[in-house]
Structure 1
């Protein structure tokens, strides 16, 4: 369902039931379940430092987004179906060796950098989370992907413990008309 275009009423305009339904019922229906998505992982993803790597997801749920899978059945990207202003959040939790190491997380919008996050892992036995979070204006047809980078010479994983799996997410929520 798309958000109906808001109309401006004029004095002495004859209002019909269809007009009221569109402006009240249909707007409320849209706002009760606005566009969103959530991607997650089910287990560990090995990462070799020194190169920006596409980060694919094991599962996704969405409303107002098309979920695009790669040949292995993993979620590789999401296509926007409903334009608007969205809060987008990417969290990648992992451990790398040797420490210290840096983890960079990227949300790409149509191939360009949309959001970026970073963290420094202090110990190979301690997980840290790189968060990229912000507002993005998205148009119908825009494509969102995620990437990760770790310091050159480091190896590690994202989601090697159940706690890291729970934290590692890619989510978006519609917050308004752009």
Structure 2
């Protein structure tokens, strides 16, 4: 069993490991092999690094979100009961949105750069300017909303894709 990220990188970078571009699987690394490795756009080492990144980003954030979300719902039994016993799938979807808004599961502070002049909250942000890190989607101390209250007007804020999905 692979136990360290370095082991994953070493495994994927090992030239003895087949990069099957003739019959790739239906997974992200297989697609990278076909679309990037075969064309020479990426090396095996670069694909290994991408695989390592996907493992960290996909596994850790999902596991942390499940654990923290469970903890929050156990601390709010009335909301857990409303979701569990409500019989409405929209309540579950709303609860997921609310937990994504309420919790911050990222461990890094990514800075964003404006690609064009824009106005946010009445402030002009010039093209090329960096925004300050924004780690916590909800202000400290803000309460968790009940399923009946719905979610904030801008969904997916914590995943950085609000503009693409809202």
Fold in common (TM above 0.5): no
Relative to its length, the structure with more helix (as a share) is 2
Please give the TM-score of this superposition, normalised by the length of structure 1: 0.27
- Return the structure number with greater relative CO, CA threshold 8 A, min gap 6: 1
Relative to its length, the structure with more strand (as a share) is 1
Please give the TM-score of this superposition, normalised by the length of structure 2: 0.28
